């Protein structure tokens, strides 16, 4: 019998219990799945950040931790987590991110706010340019960034993607370097889909913002730490950046008195760009547990030194 602890927000447990039980049974695994097990009995942990589990030391026989999140920045540095850590690459989450990013890019590209927010009796026929005339950069060309870049390119945007290592993505100009400015020159929009690591902290700073086209938009569904907040607010105030749509913040929930809430050129969304979809996620995790049990290489293993 394999003991699996589900340790995530309590309201997620009923949703996942049946899906995981079915997916694990489909893999032919004989498991005891619970949200409450003695630490010393636990073989695997299915995990999302929660205050109930920050010290992994008592889980002495645990063979792997499976994150329910794609981003693992909150636990990757946890020194008590000595067992393998796998993140989630969930097709449902990827599709959700593609839809959210495409929607917000098109909002800015088409200038939709002008019509939606200004029904003022003034006939003001400003037609938007075509996508082909609006270059967009995606910082981070992993699972989510590449999928978003490819969709934007398929609509007609000239898309540049930036990553640490070389990439080859159909229809996208791929650049790998140490400096995001290499990919940002004259971009009229940027989408941030990098993980939060010591190397990416504050990567969208004044220098990076200043090489973009004047009035460009910023869309950040990645992590709050990627942005130098003071530099972004200053760029919004000067008109260098026309609008920022921000889904992730250094402190979440974003405090009620944070200047982003009241800034007229900022849209705040509460970390909802995309979430793990339980039905597809349960299958991925069950397959990974089967791999662990049969000695096969684990999928989506986090590189702890790289930080993602």
What is the layout of strands, in order, in the sheet containing 31-34? 31-34, 2-7, 44-47, 64-67, 85-86
Catalytic residue among 181, 263, 271, 277: 271
Q: Is 185 a catalytic residue?
A: no
Region of 87 (left: φ > 0; alpha: ψ -120 to 50; beta: rest) is beta
Residue carrying structure tokens 């003034």: 122
Decide: is 305 part of the binding site for ligand NDP (CB under 6 A): no
Q: What are phi and psi of 94, to 5 degrees?
A: -65, -45
Decide: is 148 part of the binding site for ligand NDP (CB under 6 A): no
Q: Contact region for ligand NDP (CB under 6 A) — 10-18, 27-35, 215-223, 288-296?
A: 215-223
Binding mask 102-141 for ligand NDP (x = CB under 6 A): --------------------------------------xx
CB nearer to ligand NDP: give 63 or 164.
164
Decide: is 46 part of the binding site for ligand NDP (CB under 6 A): no
Q: Is the dihedral of CA 182, 250, 105, 259 positive or negative?
A: negative
Token reading at 90? 């969930």
Among 109, 223, 243, 283, binds ligand NDP (CB under 6 A): 223
Token reading at 200? 């990416």
Among 46, 70, 138, 241, binds ligand NDP (CB under 6 A): 70
Decide: is 165 part of the binding site for ligand NDP (CB under 6 A): yes
Decide: is 284 part of the binding site for ligand NDP (CB under 6 A): no
Measured CA to CA, the distance from residue 240 to residue 202 in angstroms comes to 18
Binding mask 166-205 for ligand NDP (x = CB under 6 A): ---------------------------xxxxx-xx-----
Name residues contacting ligand NDP, limited to 239-278 (CB under 6 A). 247-248, 271, 273-274
Q: Which of 277, 276, 268, 274 is closest to 250 using CA atoms? A: 268
Q: Which of 70, 77, 100, 44 is closest to 291 using CA atoms? A: 44
Rg (CA), the chain: 21
Total of residues contacting ligand NDP (CB under 6 A): 28
Q: Is 87 a catalytic residue?
A: no
Residue 183 CB neighbour total at 10 angstroms = 23
CB nearer to ligand NDP: give 11 or 303.
303
Helix (H) or strand (E) holding 218: strand 216-220
Q: Which residues of this protein are in contact with ligand NDP, per CB under 6 A?
A: 70-71, 93, 140-145, 163-165, 193-197, 199-200, 221-223, 247-248, 271, 273-274, 308
Residues with active-site annotation: 223, 271
């Amino acid at each position: 019998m394999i003991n699996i602890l589900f340790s995530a927000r309590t309201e997620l447990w009923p949703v996942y219990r049946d899906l995981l039980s079915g997916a694990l049974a489909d893999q032919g695994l004989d498991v005891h799945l619970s949200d409450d097990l003695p630490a010393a009995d636990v073989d695997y942990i299915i995990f999302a950040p929660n205050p109930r589990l920050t010290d992994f030391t008592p889980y002495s026989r645990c063979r792997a931790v499976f994150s329910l999140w794609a981003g693992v920045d909150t636990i990757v540095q946890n020194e008590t987590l000595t067992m393998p850590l796998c993140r989630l690459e969930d097709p449902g989450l990827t599709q959700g991110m593609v839809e959210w990013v495409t929607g917000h890019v098109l909002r800015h590209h088409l200038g939709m706010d002008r019509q939606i927010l200004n029904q003022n009796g003034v006939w003001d026929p400003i037609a938007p340019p075509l996508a082909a005339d609006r270059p967009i950069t995606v910082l981070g060309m992993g699972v989510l960034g590449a999928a978003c870049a490819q969709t934007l390119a398929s609509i007609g945007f000239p898309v540049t993607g930036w990553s640490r290592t070389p990439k080859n993505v159909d229809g996208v100009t791929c650049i790998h370097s140490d400096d995001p400015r290499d990919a940002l020159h004259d971009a009229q929009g940027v989408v941030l889909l990098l993980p939060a690591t010591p190397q990416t902290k504050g990567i969208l700073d004044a220098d990076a913002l200043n090489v973009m086209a004047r009035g460009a938009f910023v869309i950040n569904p990645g992590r709050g730490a990627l942005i130098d907040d003071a530099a972004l607010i200053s760029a919004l105030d000067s008109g260098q950046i026309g609008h920022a749509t921000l889904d992730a913040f250094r402190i979440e929930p974003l405090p009620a008195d944070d200047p982003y809430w009241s800034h007229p050129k900022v849209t705040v969304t509460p970390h909802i760009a995309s979430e793990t979809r339980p039905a597809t996620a349960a299958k991925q995790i069950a397959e990974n547990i089967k791999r662990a049990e049969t000695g096969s290489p684990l999928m989506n293993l986090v590189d702890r030194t790289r930080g993602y």
